[in-house]
Amino acid sequence: MKPSTIAIKLNKVAETAVKKGHPWVFEQSIQKGPESKEPAGSLCVLFDQRNNKPFAFGLWDPEEIIRIKIIFNGPRLKLDDAFWKQQLEKAFEQRRALLARTNGYRAIHGENDGFPGMVLDIYNTTGVLKVYSDIWKPYLDNLLQLFQEFYKLERIVFRLSRKLTEKQSFPYKEGDIIGEPLEGERVVFEEQGVQFYAYPVTGHKTGFFLDQRPNRLWVQDHAKGKSVLDVFSYVGSFGIHALQGGATSLTSIDISQHAMDVAKENLELNNLDASKWTPLVGDAFELLQKLISENATFDMVILDPPTFATQQSHIPRALNQYERMATLGDSLTKKDGFLILGSCSSRVTLEDFEIAHQTAFVKQSSHWNVVKKTQHDIDHPITFPEGSYLKTIIYRKA
């Protein structure tokens, strides 16, 4: 079925939220909608209750609770290549300043760039498009061509969310490559004088985690002459920056042997001294306790775990885990040393994240000064509260 055009009226609360820039319309917020089931990707024209004029446009998602995903706020829209190119130009301008420091960045950050349910990460001349919603099926071929031309990409690797992979409703499968074939399974990109391998077909998300870039740079700038512990190290991105910045030693902890193997590849790629590196594979909390029992301490401790709260009911447990992390980090950090604590749990606020740390520090009778708090870099813009997920606090032990 081809997408159609649907006239929509929302209840007053939802209408106000969309006018303020919120990109989601939930099923129960629709006051007047289509009579029959319309295909995914149909264009929704949202009409003002008061004057009956259009004020926003979205794409219809018939099988999801978020029934309409907003793509444009305004009274008029012609949904063609010129519109999508205009959206890309706006997104690119926001990121232009990054390009002097890296050729690995997030070109499209979903709802925040007017492409809800879609992410495009770029690693040099390889793009990785991850799609989370059926709304993009009718527009996919046009967009793939547009992305390749606009960003001058040799290829785009197509990735799907787990739910869409199971449905098999798209013309491309998980891992398909559009454009020039990929030689091998990895590509190289550069970030602030450091090179990394990304695994665009098989790696987590799009093949690398780009979002902690500013904090990796901070580590590089402050690691000279320091012993560094990098926990939940994944493919070694923080640790590689530390060694590049002159760290005297690096201990990496991750549960995945494969991730540690890639970390070794990244070490070799940058011609760094492998004798300074101690990789430890296993459960992070168990290995941290073991290091504490051995009276090990470090000048810089980095704890940047995967999300602890994938739903609202997980928040109390997540806060306990963040308090536990701060406690362990406290025990492992030398006086005047740095402790870097990260969270990618969108449901945990920065304030609650910090309170969990302070609770741990009080129990430990230790004193810490906040050096820096960071959230999202400019290639991960945030335009609505639910889009905010990343938070990192850097402390120095008094």
At a CB cut-off of 8 Å and minimum separation 6, what does 299 contact?
Answer: 225, 226, 227, 228, 333, 334, 337, 338
Residue 166: pLDDT band with limits 50, 70, 90? confident
Q: Is the pLDDT of residue 255 over 80?
A: yes
How large a percentage of the chain has pLDDT more than 70? Answer: 100
Residue 2: pLDDT band with limits 50, 70, 90? confident
Residue 69: pLDDT band with limits 50, 70, 90? very high
pTM: 0.94
Closest CA to 346 of 378, 381, 318: 318
What pLDDT, on a 0 to 100 scale, did the predictor assign at position 349? 93
Q: Is the pLDDT of residue 36 over 80?
A: no
What mean pLDDT do residues 311-340 have? Answer: 95
pLDDT, one tens digit per residue, over 350-397 is 999 999 999 999 999 999 999 999 999 999 999 999 999 999 999 999
Q: What is the mean pLDDT of the chain?
A: 96
| Tokens found for residue 372 | 């820096």
| Tokens found for residue 26 | 């939930």
What pLDDT, on a 0 to 100 scale, did the predictor assign at position 9? 97
pLDDT, one tens digit per residue, over 176-235 is 999 999 988 999 999 999 999 999 999 989 999 999 999 999 999 999 999 999 999 999
Closest CA to 99 of 135, 152, 141: 152
What pLDDT, on a 0 to 100 scale, did the predictor assign at position 67? 97
Q: Is the pLDDT of residue 264 over 80?
A: yes
Q: Is the pLDDT of residue 148 over 80?
A: yes
The Cα 223–Cα 266 span in angstroms is 18
What pLDDT, on a 0 to 100 scale, did the predictor assign at position 353? 96
What mean pLDDT do residues 7-29 have? Answer: 97
Residue 169: pLDDT band with limits 50, 70, 90? confident
pLDDT, one tens digit per residue, over 302-316 is 999 988 878 888 899
- Asked if residue 22 lies in contact with residue 56, where contact means CB atoms within 8 angstroms, the answer is no
3-state secondary structure of 6: strand
**Long-range contacts of range 243-246, CB-CB < 8 Å, 24 or more positions apart?**
243/267, 243/270, 243/272, 243/273, 243/276, 243/277, 244/193, 244/194, 244/220, 244/270, 244/272, 245/219, 245/220, 245/221
Q: Is the pLDDT of residue 35 over 80?
A: no
What pLDDT, on a 0 to 100 scale, did the predictor assign at position 158? 97
Residue 136: pLDDT band with limits 50, 70, 90? very high
Q: Is the pLDDT of residue 167 over 90?
A: no
**Which domains does the chain show, CATH number per domain?**
5-73 (2.30.130.10), 81-188 (3.30.750.80), 211-397 (3.40.50.150)
What mean pLDDT do residues 281-297 have? Answer: 97
Tell me phi and psi for residue 14, to 5 degrees.
Answer: -65, -40
What pLDDT, on a 0 to 100 scale, did the predictor assign at position 96? 96
Q: Is the pLDDT of residue 32 over 80?
A: yes
What pLDDT, on a 0 to 100 scale, did the predictor assign at position 199? 96
Specify the range with the lowest mean pLDDT, choosing from 33-42, 155-164, 327-336.
Answer: 33-42
